[in-house]
């Protein structure tokens, strides 16, 4: 562990950096509290009388609450599905040191979403699944699964092989070894994979736009209703964006203490 | 408790042969040590018996049961790993109970066995701690405890002492030996350290390049090594060698000195080879008796003995002299070899 003294500049530099990164988010949050006149005012006003009108419109006159619920269903289920597939897959890939399945899964993630969209739309339509949760959840699992797989691989590679072998000798089958011995050791990796999968699914626009129905529209798709052909309801759009940004932020802040690694210390010589 | 039989096993990774056609038997209750330099296949062999490594030919049997293709979990063996391989998220008690729980042993029986093993290894006060709170020596004891509670047919040890410091190594070594005496179980132990092999083993398998060099008791390997490799590997320091022309029972060294040798076979034809003599079988020569002239190179006083590296012509010999004799570098020493202790090896390294 290096213990270099921090430069006296580091705190101001980090503060300025953080403000730069946060400025669009601040802008978004502030705009969501402005009246229609103030939101488009130029030069922009920093001092204004905040109003809840945009939020009232969002939750009162549109189905945004239901759309948010849809987003939770889709992001939650696709995260779960992605992890359920990715965890055993990553375990097998890491144990057998077989790289190609991981690479194949990455291709699915690298290919542009539009490539899948048309065949899926036709496929799900013929199956009568278009517009339902299932189609959307399956589609989003294509985003979450490779992501979770690649996040978990380094954690699994760092797990001592002897632990797995010891489990074999202790009488376990592979599934038991994975659940009882390996999962507790890669817990931080699973937390990271969960957050990333959830956030990516939550924010993914394209599949939801094409595959969701009226009842299953996600928040991110619904927010685009405020962008009209001639006019855009900036205040309501910013309010929607603020609501959409909240769950990932809350999720990340609440679980970040779990991210502390080092659980495997003491397994083999420390 | 069980016998172990290895018959004609072969293992290779694509083109590389790691084990070629190995056969031997391990008796019930025997402490067998596999020893050899790194890459000799000793760990691979142990892992084949454990069921952690596949092999291409031959068979492995535990007791009368051939276990080829039987997964490790169904072999009723227990293994102590070099890096302990304790489960970091479980307490010591859970670590020791885990294998029994997996085999659906009744809780009362698990508790009894864990308590008994903890008593033997004196780790009772550690049972509720996690592995990371333990020292290296304590972790290794827990790893042994985990094996003991299983009451397996065979105990397997894969270089269990390599991560311990020198003092602790001697302690744990004694403990494993005591454990073997107490349990009377069949144990197979892998090490690269010939001192561990000599001190612990009932019998030793010396491996080199995936093949057996010699199998025997520590005394047999020390007294009657069949190859130059075994002679040089066993003993501390190992046997000295000097090129010689061997004819009947007499070897003529490069220096012209003539030394009597104890032959295994009664060959009469002259052979170009080497003589071998252990450091402890060399002493200062009687002024009137036979002897060879040597030049002192390095002196290492150890207290009880003095190790002296001397030059005999081109060859270098390590000699163990009594502690009170401390020659100086550059001294000339006239040395003689204990009668009957000088061995002869041919050019291929086989004892003749």
In a domain, A103, yes or no: yes
Report the distance separating Cα A148 and Cα A83, nearest Å.
6
**pLDDT > 60? residue B126:** yes
- The most distant pair of C-alpha atoms in chain B lies apart, rounded to whole Å, by 77
In a domain, A125, yes or no: yes
In a domain, A33, yes or no: no
Beta bridge partners of B13: B16
Whether the Cβ atoms of residue B83 and residue B23 lie closer than 8 Å to each other: no
> Cβ A265–B81 below 8 Å, yes or no?
no
Which site among B83, B136, B155 would you substitute to test the A interface, given the most A Cβ atoms closer than 10 Å to its Cβ? B83
Q: Which two tokens stand for residue B50?
A: 């454990």
Q: Which two tokens stand for residue A26?
A: 């601040």
A-B Cβ pairs (cutoff 8 Å, strict): 83
Whether the Cβ atoms of residue B335 and residue B309 lie closer than 8 Å to each other: no
What pLDDT is stored for residue B314 in this prediction? 86
What pLDDT is stored for residue A114 in this prediction? 86
Average the pLDDT over B273-300 and give the result: 92
In a domain, A183, yes or no: yes
Average the pLDDT over B208-234 and give the result: 95
- Domain containing A77 — which CATH number? 1.10.3720.10
> Cβ B86–A266 below 8 Å, yes or no?
yes
Q: Which residue has the higher pLDDT, A103 or B80?
A: B80
In a domain, A126, yes or no: yes
Which chain A residues contact residue B71 at CB under 8 A?
Answer: 168
B104–A contact, CB cutoff 8 A: no
In a domain, A69, yes or no: yes
Task: Provide, rounded to the nearest whole percent, the portion of chain B with pLDDT above 70.
Answer: 100
What pLDDT is stored for residue B215 in this prediction? 96
Helix (H/G/I), strand (E/B), else coil: A48: coil
Give a three-class secondary structure readout of chain B: CCCEEEEEEEEEECCEEEEEEEEEEECCCCEEEEECCCCCCHHHHHHHHHCCCCCCEEEEEECCEECCCCCHHHCCEEEECCCCCCCCCCCHHHHHHHHHHHCCCCHHHHHHHHHHHHHHHCCHHHCCCCHHHCCHHHHHHHHHHHHHHCCCCEEEEECCCCCCCHHHHHHHHHHHHHHHHHHCCEEEEEECCHHHHHHHCCEEEEEECCEEEEEECHHHHHHCCCEHHHHHHCCCCCCEEEEEEEECCEEEECCCCEEECCCCCCCCCCEEEEEEECHHHEEECCCCCCCEEEEEEEEEECCCEEEEEEEECCEEEEEEEECCCCCCCCCEEEEEECCCCCEEEECCCEEC
Which of A165, A171, A185 lies at the smallest CB-CB distance from B103?
Answer: A171
B124–A contact, CB cutoff 8 A: no
**Buried-state track A135-153, b at ≥16 Cβ within 10 A, e below 16:** bbbbbbbbbbbbbbbbbbb
What pLDDT is stored for residue A1 in this prediction? 43
**pLDDT > 70? residue B54:** yes
Interval B315-345: pLDDT, tens = 999 999 999 999 999 999 999 999 899 999 9
Interval A210-245: pLDDT, tens = 888 889 999 999 998 888 877 888 899 999 999 999
What pLDDT is stored for residue A36 in this prediction? 84
In a domain, A72, yes or no: yes
**pLDDT > 60? residue B65:** yes
Task: Provide, rounded to the nearest whole percent, the portion of chain B with pLDDT above 90.
Answer: 82
CA angle A91, A94, A96 (to 5 degrees): 105
Domain hosting residue A165, numbered range: 62-226
In a domain, A175, yes or no: yes
**Count of structural domains within chain A:** 1
Helical spans, DSSP H, in chain A? 10-31, 36-39, 53-60, 64-96, 100-110, 113-126, 133-157, 161-169, 174-176, 183-185, 187-203, 206-211, 219-222, 234-255
Whether the Cβ atoms of residue A214 and residue A200 lie closer than 8 Å to each other: no
User: With a cut of 50, which residues of chain A have pLDDT below it?
Assistant: 1-3, 261-270
Which chain A residues contact residue B145 at CB under 8 A?
Answer: none
B157–A contact, CB cutoff 8 A: no
Whether the Cβ atoms of residue B140 and residue B161 lie closer than 8 Å to each other: yes
**pLDDT > 80? residue B199:** yes
A interface toward B at CB cutoff 8 Å? 160, 162-163, 165-166, 168-173, 176, 180-181, 184-185, 263-270
The interface predicted TM-score (ipTM) is 0.87
> Cβ A165–B72 below 8 Å, yes or no?
yes
For A181, B276, B348, the CA distances from B336, given in Å and listed in that order, are 62, 13, 27
> Cβ B83–A270 below 8 Å, yes or no?
no
């Amino acid at each position: 562990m290096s213990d270099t003294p921090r430069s006296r500049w580091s705190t101001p530099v980090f503060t300025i950096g953080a403000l730069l990164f946060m400025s669009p988010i601040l802008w978004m949050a502030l705009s969501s509290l402005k009246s229609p006149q103030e939101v488009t005012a130029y030069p922009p006003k920093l001092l204004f009388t905040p109003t809840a009108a945009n939020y009232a419109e969002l939750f009162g006159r549109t189905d945004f609450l239901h759309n948010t619920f849809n987003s939770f269903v889709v992001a939650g289920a696709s995260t779960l599905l992605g992890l359920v597939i990715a965890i055993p897959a990553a375990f097998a890939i890491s144990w057998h040191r077989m790289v190609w399945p991981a690479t194949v899964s990455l291709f699915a993630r690298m290919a542009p979403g539009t490539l899948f969209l048309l065949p899926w739309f036709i496929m799900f339509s013929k199956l009568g699944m278009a517009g339902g949760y299932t189609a959307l959840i399956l589609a989003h699992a294509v985003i979450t699964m490779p992501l979770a797989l690649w996040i978990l691989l380094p954690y699994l590679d760092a797990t001592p092989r002897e632990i797995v072998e010891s489990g074999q000798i202790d009488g376990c089958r592979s599934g038991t070894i994975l659940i009882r011995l390996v999962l507790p050791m890669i817990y931080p990796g699973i937390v990271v994979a969960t957050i990333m999968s959830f956030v990516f699914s939550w924010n993914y626009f394209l599949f939801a736009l094409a595959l969701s129905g009226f009842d299953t529209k996600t928040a991110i798709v619904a927010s685009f209703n405020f962008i009209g052909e001639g006019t855009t309801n900036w205040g309501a759009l910013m309010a929607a964006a603020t609501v959409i940004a909240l769950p990932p932020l809350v999720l990340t802040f609440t679980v970040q203490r779990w991210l502390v690694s080092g659980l495997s210390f003491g397994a083999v010589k420390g | 408790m069980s016998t172990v039989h290895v018959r004609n096993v072969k293992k290779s990774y694509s083109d590389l042969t790691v084990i070629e056609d190995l056969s031997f038997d391990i008796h019930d209750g025997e402490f067998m040590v596999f020893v050899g330099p790194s890459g000799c296949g000793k760990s691979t062999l142990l892992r084949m018996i454990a069921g952690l490594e596949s092999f291409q030919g031959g068979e492995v049997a535990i007791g009368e049961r051939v276990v080829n293709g039987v997964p490790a979990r169904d072999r009723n063996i227990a293994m102590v790993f070099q890096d302990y391989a304790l489960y970091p998220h479980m307490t010591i008690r859970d670590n020791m109970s885990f294998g029994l729980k997996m085999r659906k042993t009744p809780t009362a029986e698990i508790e009894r066995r864990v308590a008994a093993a903890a008593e033997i290894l004196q780790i009772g006060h550690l049972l509720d701690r996690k592995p990371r709170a333990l020292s290296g020596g304590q972790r290794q004891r827990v790893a042994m405890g985990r094996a003991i509670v299983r009451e397996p047919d065979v105990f397997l040890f894969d270089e269990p002492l390599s991560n311990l410091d020198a003092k602790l190594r001697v302690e744990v070594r004694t403990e494993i030996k005591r454990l073997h005496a107490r349990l009377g179980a069949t144990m197979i132990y892998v090490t690269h350290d010939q001192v561990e092999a000599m001190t612990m083993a009932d019998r030793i398998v010396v491996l080199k390049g995936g093949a057996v060099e010699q199998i025997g008791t520590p005394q047999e390997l020390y007294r009657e090594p069949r190859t130059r490799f075994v002679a040089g590997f066993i003993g501390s320091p190992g046997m000295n060698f000097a090129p010689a022309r061997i004819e009947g029972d007499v070897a003529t060294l490069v220096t012209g000195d003539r030394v009597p040798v104890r032959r295994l076979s009664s060959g009469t034809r002259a052979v170009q080879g080497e003589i071998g003599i252990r450091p402890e079988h060399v002493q200062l020569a009687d002024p009137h008796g036979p002897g060879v002239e040597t030049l002192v190179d390095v002196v290492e006083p150890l207290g009880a003995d003095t190790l002296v590296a001397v030059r005999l012509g081109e060859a270098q010999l390590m000699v163990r002299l009594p502690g009170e004799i401390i020659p100086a570098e550059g001294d000339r020493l006239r040395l003689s070899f204990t009668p009957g202790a000088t061995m002869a090896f041919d050019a291929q390294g086989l004892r003749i």
